[in-house]
Amino acid sequence: MAKSKFEYVRDFETDDTCLPNCWIVVRLDGRNFHRFAEQHEFKKPNDDRALHLMTKCAQTVMQELEDIAIAYGQSDEYSFVFKKKSRWFKRRASKFMTHVVSQFASSYVFYWKDYFKDQQLLYPPGFDGRIVLYPSNQNLKDYLSWRQADCHVNNLYNTVFWMLVQRSGLTPVQAQDRLQGTLAGDKNEILFSEFNINYNNEPLMYRKGTVLIWQKVNEVITKKIKLPKETEEKEVEVTRTRTKVVPLHCDIIGDQFWEEYPEILAEDG
């Protein structure tokens, strides 16, 4: 086909190919979810509906897009890790980031009512995205550890903060002052002595966030088959192995998780 005289405009497009052999991480984060949570009456500090909806959207992203090895989410954010060897969209950063964020955002709206029932969605939510490359497995593990440590620090703070406000009747400013300069041990102690809460017994999803990995699951289905010598159809049970995206709420900072699921970091995985 003859090229038009306008073709040269393509040369203005910049190359955004991700470096080979690096883990490609896309992290998205809800835009102004402080306000979004208020407006939609999210339970404080953790709303199960909101957290489960985030995970449903992340599962959809993993199933719809190619080459995602693991995802990690907490609060209004999710990180998706694409395999080092991925050739998806010739490793163009903008393709990875925009596909992840738009698939996630449309899923958030699409599945909203399944999680929030009568709570109407009042306005269209938005998400930002960024892309970071990690050249070594250790860098990637440290990245995920950083997000899980962030989850822990914020959740411990928020748990005590909202106890002080909701149970002890402190104003948010008073609760903030009370927690100023306290260490993790002090916060655990306030929870235990004033509210009879052992922080370690708080739900794992709140304390650890959500890890999504691929797992083989056996699925039993009933199938109608017709045997060659028989006239009637017969129902038989057959077991199929499928790979599914499974949520876990476990520690990913220590070695145990990576030893249990070595295929996640495997070169040819």
Chain residues in the site for ligand DGT (CB under 6 A): 29-34, 37, 42, 44-47, 50-51, 75-76
Contact call for residues 117 and 43 (beta carbons, < 8 A) = no
209 binds, among ligand DGT, Mg ion, none (CB under 5 to 8 A by kind): none
Least distance (Å) from ligand DGT to the CB of residue 90?
Answer: 30
The reply on whether position 129 binds Mg ion by CB under 5 A is: no
42 versus 214: smaller Cβ distance to Mg ion: 42
CA distance 46 to 249: 15
50 binds, among ligand DGT, Mg ion, none (CB under 5 to 8 A by kind): ligand DGT
Least distance (Å) from ligand DGT to the CB of residue 75?
Answer: 4
Least distance (Å) from Mg ion to the CB of residue 231?
Answer: 51
Window 134-173: contact mask with Mg ion (x via CB under 5 A): ----------------------------------------
Report the SS3 class of residue 193: helix
Contact call for residues 208 and 148 (beta carbons, < 8 A) = yes
- CA 42-63-66 angle, to 5 degrees, is 125
Report the SS3 class of residue 93: helix
Applying CB under 5 A, among 29, 47, 67, 251 the residue interacting with Mg ion is 29
Q: Which residues, 52 to 81, sit near Mg ion by CB under 5 A?
A: 75-77
129 versus 245: smaller Cβ distance to ligand DGT: 129
76 versus 134: smaller Cβ distance to Mg ion: 76
Among positive and negative, which fits the CA dihedral 131, 134, 137, 139? negative
CA distance 226 to 229: 8
Least distance (Å) from ligand DGT to the CB of residue 78?
Answer: 12
Report the SS3 class of residue 187: helix
Q: How many residues does the chain have?
A: 269
Going by the DSSP 8-state scheme, the letter that residue 18 receives in this structure is P
76 versus 96: smaller Cβ distance to ligand DGT: 76
> For residue 209, is it left (φ>0), alpha (ψ between -120 and 50) or beta?
left
28 binds, among Mg ion, ligand DGT, none (CB under 5 to 8 A by kind): none
69 versus 164: smaller Cβ distance to ligand DGT: 164
Closest CA to 101 of 49, 151, 31: 31
44 versus 178: smaller Cβ distance to ligand DGT: 44
50 versus 212: smaller Cβ distance to ligand DGT: 50
Computed over its alpha carbons, how large is the radius of gyration of the chain? 23
Structure tokens, 219? 């699925």
Residues engaged in binding Mg ion (CB under 5 A): 29-30, 33, 75-77
